[in-house]
A = this chain, B = another copy of it.
Amino acid sequence: MNTSFDRGQLDGMDKSRRTNLINSLSGYKSANLLGSVNAMQQTNLALMSSVFHVGANPPLMGCLLRPHTVPRHSLENIVEMKCFTLNSVTKSIYKRAHQTSARYSRDQSEFEAVGLTPEYSNTLCAPYVSQSPVQIGLSLVDTQVLTVNETVLVIGEIKEIRLADNMMSSDGHLKLNEAELVTLSGLDEYHLPESLGRLPYPKP
């Protein structure tokens, strides 16, 4: 390989350069908006790049939250109300989604600040993002603090899934391209993927 960094070189890097590099390493990341609310009905919306599938039966999803950064309001709300939503980010709303990461004060809802619309179902206390074609309603199952750096792993059980029309293939697979979902790399680059097709189940 042509460029390499050992640990000493990484530790010696300028902080913001190292942050950009380390955040780029995993590759393309999902972009989801986490919707939550507190007991006073104040809503909160935060962009997440570390949402992942944990299991299909029961249907579980996980998300990593840094307690000392902006999403702390989300974490407080989730722990208080035991529910939250995850909402897909599309080409039409990715600039507004990115803007939710600004440090708004506790009493200002990111929904209003960036121009996204909260929407409620009868099943869940937390708000969905009306503009998102994939909306997932979850109840809190577990929070685990990662001892290595105090990051909090939040695990939710899916209570409800709401989809825009024509997104689901007959076998359950979702057509993310048709709904123009975007993907994120590093801290701030957004991309629109083009499908290379589906591959068959691999056998030796």
Contact = CB atoms under 8 A, between A and B. Distances in A.
Interface string A174-198: 1011000111011111111111111
Contacts of A30: 26-29
Contacts of A164: 1-3
Given A164-B1, A172-B17, A53 B27 contact: no
A194 B113 CA distance: 28
Given A7-B160, A146-B54, A194-B194, A173 B201 contact: no
B60 A134 contact: no
B191 A193 contact: yes
A179 to B, nearest CB: 10
Contacts of A102: 202-204
Interface in A76-114: 86, 88-89, 91, 94-95, 98-105, 108, 113
Interface in A5-24: 5-7, 10, 13-24
A45 interface: no
B155 A146 contact: yes
B148 A18 contact: no
15 contacts: A13-B172, A22-B53, A25-B161, A26-B53, A27-B30, A27-B176, A28-B176, A28-B181, A54-B64, A54-B151, A58-B148, A148-B155, A188-B201, A190-B197, A190-B199
